Structure 1
Amino acid sequence: MAARAIWKGQLRLSLVSIPVEVYSARSSGGRVSFRQIHEPSGKPVHYQKVVQGVGPVDSEEIMKGFETKDGDYLLLDPDEIDAIKPETKKTLELVQFVDTTEIAPIWFDRPYYVVPSDDLSEDAYRVVRDALRQTKKAGLGQLTMRGKEYLCAIRPCGDGLLMETLHYEEDIRDADPLFSGIADDPADKELLEVATELIDKKTAPFDASAFEDHYATALRDLIDRKLKSKKTPRAARSDDGGKEGGENVVDLMDALKKSLKETKGGGSKSRKKAS
């Protein structure tokens, strides 16, 4: 199945707008998934929305409830929540740049590939990619998608660009209460030398193919064996158990020069936007 873009719009660097498409960098094709099946009937098990003491309820009767400090629920109508959702914008503007090593791994959430929408946008795309590569920077911006606003970092990845959604500050738990009990004394010098020597001997270029998900492999082997065995119980599938571009950059050099002229003071304008 061909990959499907989850977002289409403009990647903007000041006055330069590049039509791009965003694709998930994660693949679920290699994962084994199961469904719960009612053995006597062979039908999938579905879940109902049930209220204790009432039974099944209609979706129209359900509201969003925010639990207060008193233990009560503040009820909000779904329409009220929908009214304040951000509009889906078709522009991801890079408003600030940071060293790629400055963003700690704890901030990263999900990876996405960013590709040019057409041949005409490739020149501008390559300029941004190579500029980020040369400066060893990542561009920061916010992307609105599916009613949510995501903080994003854009950086080079092979021949293209990688976009990673980042957690917001309130999403990360403070580590101090957990680490405060660890003594701040320096490690034993001899033990440290042995440990660093061991690390040096085991240091090699990163290669994800050198690692295997042994549980997933064993699970696929089990399923293969079960498929070949006539003794494996099977449930017949029932009939009702089915599955539920933009503007072209006409003069890239002119746009870049105009952007540079408008951005004065070492990027203070960008930082103000990002804050």
Structure 2
Amino acid sequence: MNRPLITLTAAAVLGLSATAQASEPLKIGISAEPYPPFTYTSSEGEWTGFEVELGMAICEAMERSCEITPTGWSGIIPSLKAGRIDMIMNSMSITEARKRVIDFSDPYYFTPGAFVAADDLTLGGPDDLGGKVLGVQAATTNATYARRALRDSVGDIRLYDQAEQVNRDLLAGRLDVILADKIAMNEFLERDEAEGYEIKATAPRHEAYGEGVGIGLRQDDDALQADLNAAIAEVREDGTCSALSEEYFGTDICT
């Protein structure tokens, strides 16, 4: 006689647990190293930027609360798989290699890699890299492209943990050219200290760059993936993504 009551009680507890889990804020993992204008800290010390604002708009469309959780870039996928964050929204390109270990939402933007060097350096594209020292951030699609497509044509490829380290070594003359996200480079070139540098060329379409940028997810989070895809479609269709893109970049990069 008591067995049905036990079953019902267990079901009720499980239901309450699921409800509590759904009400907990989703943790959006971003790199702890600022990546303006996508992610950076404001003068008040708060995280902001294109992807931070877009992430919050996506959460609002899902009717879920979210919080930004800075995580070292090199450990961001392990943090996702370990459950310390719920998703990665940090200009992570959807590639075959990454899809073997995590899932992705639909893409929300695509932008090519750009070669940046001093104004007086002759560089029309990858074929002109012979003898040059190229800097690129490790564990990025640009690094994968450099390793696969440029290793036989460039003089030396130097990998860095952080994007800002690459920028600093270019300005210090320790690099001849850098390869990085074109939108981020447009922002970098607006700095006073970057006067005398320019985008020389963009990288050609290559398998290393994948299908565009999406939100990284654990492979079993099918419900969250479906909710995110619906929310991404909503912020694209209602103009939110395009408006934020125009605000931060002066152009529409939303796919």
Give the TM bin, normalised by the shorter chain.
Answer: under 0.3
Q: Which has the higher helix share?
A: 2
TM-score by length of 1: 0.21
Q: Which has the higher strand share?
A: 1
Larger radius of gyration: 1
